[in-house]
Chain A
């Protein structure tokens, strides 16, 4: 859909400057792109390739390893219902069945209003709280059909805006690295001295 915005390009350059090799910034930049559009668009991957000095195929090759990068638009909220052992035993399939009906979508689909995408997930490591689900990777435990409907209601009414940011938001607080601690895009092999903040003698 879109390349990175000017503001995000500025952020991208800041992120790239933290690494000795620009390519190391590929994944942080993919997060940035997903934060911008809610998913990682092809244009964004091309743009990231240009920024870090990789081909778009390399960016895509890296990105496509990760389940949590989406390459098609998803809803504002991504609802992952766990379907692995404990949850399955405690009614995950029924819950998924109910969710499909309540939202009028199939697994993997997005509601017509573009708000919610429903997916089935592998174990979310909350087996004691089964069946569980995640909304944009925020847990909901011991979910029943009723609590699911309530959740959807709350999401639609915007009552959870404070707790759950839109899909793609990694964090609402961005890390800042002081300029004098930034290594810069210099290959380790080409760096003769330690970074300015590191006093080599202290290690002796």
Chain B
């Protein structure tokens, strides 16, 4: 005691000692480590590489492969321990390079190789294989094993995407641990444990996880391979560049890998604030769409009702002509721009500059399926803050379906007991089973659900325990977004110090809105278009006919506009109504920056040549402006970036140097102050015989990126109406049969299925599924939409 006190007084000028730091020695050098850290992690930092197979920094250690043996000085002399299971300790003496350790490493490798087929020349992993590499660096060089190796059928498909070669497997438990611990889909498991242990699925229950691709990435041998990449390239032929995935707005860091100018693979990069190296299968495998034959490669112009190929100057001049004649005839208000949330910040900024120069405010990057951009005015939370909050309030979409990696982060927060999840929803979501509290509500009843749940004694005491983050998005496309906004206002009123993480789903929707592409509202623009008040509509990577919830309004709007120009990578349903279709450069074909849902700006990199003559969106905007005698003052994507960060207040903290210094990205500035709560609209009563419609998205849908990726296209579940099993009984229709769904305007015939995660009295329909017509049942101007079901 006395000694400590003396120390405190004498070291007054010294920085305080970190109570969690321990000093240990690795190979004779002193290393400072954190309490609880594993020896292998400390050795990684000190530069002493310990070979390993099963250890993965993002999963719990299991000590399966025994490759990471090291010597630790003990009271009875040096002792072999597995460094991935042994935590550091003060004064610990670790050696990784003694002859005994070397012998142990060689022994384990010899053992692991006894049943390994050594078919490296035909194995996709050869060249980047931890087993191959470590057999060279730490192996004995030869084997004493002369007996016959184990033989299995190879490879067997364990899902639509992943194939398993059990001969190559070294049973490290990485994939099975990932499936159970990280993804929560324990659909693969060790079976027949013993001499014939093998990883398998249950018979006829494939490993249909949204995250199955990660197991391929973390497999330390070539046992798991993914269909889209099999036999396409050798690792040493791959060229790589780091980029950010824009499939959804989580913004996972990835490497984009190509060979012979063709995208072949995306791999997750471990970005601590964002994706922790995980990716969803949709993001990982939709590179196939970039190389799809269906891509547009030439500008198209409609002559006599048919598209003919043309060159860019003709197409752009014709576009400029359409825009200027619209300006002449109807003024700036007769020009509208929809879209821009699929591209880069630069794309969005260039188009928003052009819109401002034209004087139109009929601009929206969202398609009536998000929330008003005022949601960004609340105090903002980051993904990390959400995943470390003591309470997470979920108001909105099924994150597993829309933002899968954010789902993983929040699932981890709940599983590791950092956070308690309070969920509000009209349907159970992927996170419901991890939620501390799930309050179901009918569409439109969010506010009362929030008010009653958040005032319960247990909830109030939980909310008082620490930070609260509200994850808010659009959970139901068949109800007005006002309900969610009012519910958010109600939460903020009850928990004033909560922060908000808006989860709008389109890749760069936050960047597009921050860059100025949100001055109008898609619903109003389409209503004006349907009324014949829009002369020229520019679709920047948007497809209202497929993506706008109200199919009837989208149809009337696109018929009501005489001149449509579509800038897209594919010929969409909406593009086919256009006068001019311009081919756009896709992801992987352009440089720039993107903004994820938490406002993190990170870099996007070009890896392959653009398809045909297609151009990035920003370039089209700049050239179009030029033809309209507007000088945007930019000549390159760098110019656009510089102008954007100097003029858009939200982009202020960002500059080239900051981006270069931080590959994880830089957060946007917070702009605006918390909005005033809007009054709650009254919800009409539901007739006893009808169901209130809940429409939300599934990960795999009829969208172009999925539909044009052969590996993913077949995974969309297809159009159907899902009812609670008891409601289905009441209806008297057998599951799988067709029923007639009668909406306010029209009726459609759809398959009906039972699903216990649907609440009673509601009908859930996944949006934009192949063959689906749910848009016919949605009236965007209605507060909620009801549907009656009839047997046919």
**Interface bits A96-123 vs B (CB < 8 Å: 1, else 0):** 0000000000000000000000000000
Q: In the complex, are the beta carbons of A42 and B187 less than 8 A apart?
A: no
Check A61/B194 contact, CB under 8 A, given A55-B202, A56-B202, A56-B205: no
Q: How many residues of B contact A (CB 8 A)?
A: 17
Check A58/B189 contact, CB under 8 A, given A42-B203, A42-B204, A45-B202: yes
Q: In the complex, are the beta carbons of B202 and A65 less than 8 A apart?
A: no
**Cα distance A61–B202 in the bound complex, in angstroms:** 8
Which of B185, B189, B204, B205 is close to A61, meaning CB atoms less than 8 Å apart? B189
The bracket for how many chain A residues form the interface is 10 to 19
**Cα distance A61–B173 in the bound complex, in angstroms:** 13
Q: Does residue B229 face the partner (Cβ distance < 8 Å to A)?
A: no
Q: Does residue A54 face the partner (Cβ distance < 8 Å to B)?
A: yes
State the Cβ distance, A56 to closest chain B Cβ, in Å: 4
Name the CB-closest residue of B to A54.
Answer: B186
Check A60/B191 contact, CB under 8 A, given A42-B204, A55-B202: yes
Q: In the complex, are the beta carbons of A55 and B186 less than 8 A apart?
A: yes
Name the CB-closest residue of A to B194.
Answer: A65
Q: In the complex, are the beta carbons of B202 and A64 less than 8 A apart?
A: no
Q: In the complex, are the beta carbons of B186 and A57 less than 8 A apart?
A: yes
Q: Does residue B188 face the partner (Cβ distance < 8 Å to A)?
A: yes
**Cα distance A60–B192 in the bound complex, in angstroms:** 9
Q: In the complex, are the beta carbons of A60 and B189 less than 8 A apart?
A: yes
Task: Chain B residues near A64: list those with CB within 8 A.
Answer: 191-193
Task: Chain B residues near A55: list those with CB within 8 A.
Answer: 185-187, 189, 202, 205
Which of B191, B194, B201 gathers most chain A CB within 10 Å?
B191
State the Cβ distance, A94 to closest chain B Cβ, in Å: 27
**Residues of B194-226 whose CB lies within 8 A of A:** 194, 200-205
**Interface bits A15-36 vs B (CB < 8 Å: 1, else 0):** 0000000000000000000000
State the Cβ distance, A21 to closest chain B Cβ, in Å: 15
Task: Chain B residues near A59: list those with CB within 8 A.
Answer: 202
**Cα distance A58–B202 in the bound complex, in angstroms:** 8
**Interface bits A32-71 vs B (CB < 8 Å: 1, else 0):** 0000000000100110000000111111110011000000
State the Cβ distance, B338 to closest chain A Cβ, in Å: 43
Q: Does residue B136 face the partner (Cβ distance < 8 Å to A)?
A: no
Q: Does residue B152 face the partner (Cβ distance < 8 Å to A)?
A: no
**Interface bits B541-579 vs A (CB < 8 Å: 1, else 0):** 000000000000000000000000000000000000000
Task: Chain B residues near A42: list those with CB within 8 A.
Answer: 202-204
Task: Chain A residues near B187: list those with CB within 8 A.
Answer: 55, 57
Name the CB-closest residue of B to A59.
Answer: B202
State the Cβ distance, A149 to closest chain B Cβ, in Å: 34
Q: Does residue B49 face the partner (Cβ distance < 8 Å to A)?
A: no
Task: Chain A residues near B200: list those with CB within 8 A.
Answer: 57, 60
**Cα distance A54–B202 in the bound complex, in angstroms:** 12
Q: Does residue B231 face the partner (Cβ distance < 8 Å to A)?
A: no
Q: In the complex, are the beta carbons of A57 and B204 less than 8 A apart?
A: no
Q: Does residue B145 face the partner (Cβ distance < 8 Å to A)?
A: no
14 contacts between A and B (CB under 8 A): A45-B202, A46-B205, A55-B186, A55-B187, A55-B205, A57-B187, A57-B200, A57-B205, A58-B189, A59-B202, A60-B189, A61-B193, A64-B193, A65-B194
Q: B residues within 8 Å of A by Cβ?
A: 180, 185-194, 200-205
